[in-house]
Amino acid sequence: MGEIIIKVPGDIKEVFEIDVNKDVGELSRVKEEIEKTKQKDRLLMHQSKLAALGEMLGNIAHQWRHPLTRLSLLIQNLEMAYKKDKLNENIFEKFKKRRVGKIFFR
């Protein structure tokens, strides 16, 4: 085996034995554990970035849907006014000018 015996001179009369193979094996295991931990950290970082990206895309989708939904409801109101004969050209033109302005973010 790879045993090393070290004798310490002086008053100390003990013998220390070091098993080199055992220490190298432990060192190898420690390195493997460090690498596993680094791998897990990278995976968590990647998952965190994907979660943030998903949240951002959800917010963008909401920013698109909200005004479109609102516009859809306004058009339904316009249609209902037309069907009840409460819509005249003046009201329609006002509606059109205000809503087209909203579509082009004025």
One-letter amino acid of 28: S
Burial category of 101 from C-beta neighbours within 10 Å (exposed 0-12, middle 13-18, buried 19 and up): exposed
pTM equals: 0.48
Q: How far apart are CA 77 and CA 95, in angstroms?
A: 11
Q: What is the pLDDT along the chain (106 residues), one digit of tens a residue?
A: 455 665 555 555 444 555 556 667 777 888 899 999 999 999 999 999 999 999 999 999 888 888 788 888 888 888 888 889 888 888 888 888 877 766 665 4
- What residue type is assigned to position 50 of the chain? L
Rg of the chain (C-alpha set) = 38
Query: How many separate helices (H) and strands (E) can be counted in the chain?
Result: 2, 2
- Rounded to 5 degrees, what are φ and ψ at 59? -65, -40
